[in-house]
Amino acid sequence: MLIAGGFHQHGGMDKANSALAEFLLSRGHPLHLVAHQVAACLAAHPRIAITRVERPAGSYFLGDWILGLRGKAIARATVAQFPRARVVVNGGNCDWHDINWAHSVHHAWPPYDDYAPLWFKLKSRIDKSIARRRERAALINSRIVIANSERTRQDLITKLRVPAQKIHTIYLGADAPLGPITTGERIAARAWLGKDAERPLAVFVGALGFDTNKGIDTLLAAWRRLCASPDWDVDLIVAGGGRGVESWRRRIEQAGIASRMTMLGFTDRVTELLAAADVLVSPVRYEAYGLNVQEALCRGVPAIVSATAGISERYPAQLSSLILRDPASVDELVECLLQWRAAMAGWKESVKPLAAELRGRSWRDMAREFVAVVENTTEI
């Protein structure tokens, strides 16, 4: 039984949950999914039972609360009927004494909402307080905890006092189509975006809410400074949806760099976007892993990322100059981008070994390791 927000391809956690479900099905296990969204290909499988939980009035807060209640009730009934059944939950979404897959740690993730309206600040602090209480209860009560990075593992140990012997780090997998970019793909992607085939292009991929956790504020300030120089010839595309899109669009226009920093909005064509890119920029303040960075690297696109992101621990020493030590430092991001531009072709060559390593680990490999850890772990 898997309890999660989603099982589909439109988000990092959702992709991971979907991959685990698909692997379990391939091994002949019957599944019960409790979720808000389930991809049609999974929903149609004859060995899957699904309990869909609606979000009343689109409320994530109410939806998550109901998901936890429904999930716990169904888990109780399932285990009573099938004592050997295993239950997987995600973080604080459901308090159940079995397997907890921690995709993020609210106790290590403070609100970053300086630009947000007052109502949002008040709401986010209430939501965060409740999320932390649920998270602590669920993780302390878990038998086995799976972390998506060593950063996440350490946060669980230091912030929540989860016993280290209960936690196992399993990195996320990669999609099969994320191979090196072909000349044809690049030409087609540039045409789709209306960009010159030769002009350097940077991309940012992340949700754009009222908060600034993804670092869009740092990137905007850095880009404004860089564009003040006539020598800076790189354009930027910002991809991501959310309630803050229009607000950030106005800030970009007010900064006078709308011609150099394009807001694409939400897109499900990230693979094509990366085919057009020369670098991905991800100055996140908190990121348990960073699937957007991994996907860029798998395509052979250098990625500038904060040291606070879990995926940065997978960077070898020769790529350390692409890691931001202070995600809020405009000066550091400007310097990093200038260093990248000065040796753009060299950085593309430098990421090839890491790209091959990341591509070599599929979602199926991740799921297989997950199941092996569960099957081979003695209960704490």
Residue 57 confidence (pLDDT): 83
Residue 302 confidence (pLDDT): 98
Residue 100 near residue 380, CB atoms below 8 Å: no
Distance CA 256, CA 327 (A): 24
Q: CATH homologous superfamily of domain 183-359?
A: Glycogen Phosphorylase B; (3.40.50.2000)
Residue 204 confidence (pLDDT): 97
Residue 39 Cα to chain centre, angstroms: 18
Nearest C-alpha neighbor of 355 from the set 324, 320, 316: 316
Nearest C-alpha neighbor of 198 from the set 230, 233, 227, 239: 233
Residue 1 near residue 35, CB atoms below 8 Å: no
Residue 155 near residue 149, CB atoms below 8 Å: no
Residue 176 confidence (pLDDT): 73
Fold classification of 2-173+362-376 is: Rossmann fold (3.40.50)
* DSSP SS3 for 48: strand
**Angle value at C-alpha 248, between 242 and 250, nearest 5 degrees:** 130
Q: Per-domain residue ranges for the chain?
A: 2-173+362-376, 183-359
Distance CA 255, CA 181 (A): 33
H-type alpha helices, 228-268: 245-254
Distance CA 294, CA 31 (A): 29
Q: Comparing 2-173+362-376 with 183-359, is the CATH topology the same?
A: yes
Per-residue pLDDT of the chain (380 residues; tens, 9 = 90+): 999 999 998 878 899 999 999 999 999 999 999 999 999 999 999 999 999 999 988 888 888 999 999 999 999 999 999 999 999 999 999 999 999 999 999 999 998 888 788 888 898 899 999 999 999 999 999 999 999 999 999 999 999 999 999 999 999 999 877 889 999 999 999 999 999 989 999 999 998 988 899 999 999 999 999 999 999 999 999 999 988 898 889 999 999 999 999 999 999 899 999 999 999 999 999 999 999 999 999 999 999 999 999 999 999 999 999 999 999 999 999 999 999 999 999 999 999 999 999 999 999 999 999 999 999 986 65
Q: What is the pTM of this model?
A: 0.92
* DSSP SS3 for 353: helix
Residues 6+ apart with CB under 8 A from 237: 193, 201, 202, 203, 204, 262, 264, 273, 276, 277
What are φ and ψ of residue 21, in 5° steps? -60, -45
140: buried, middle or exposed (CB in 10 Å: 19+, 13-18, 0-12)? middle
Residue 379 confidence (pLDDT): 60
Distance CA 279, CA 201 (A): 7
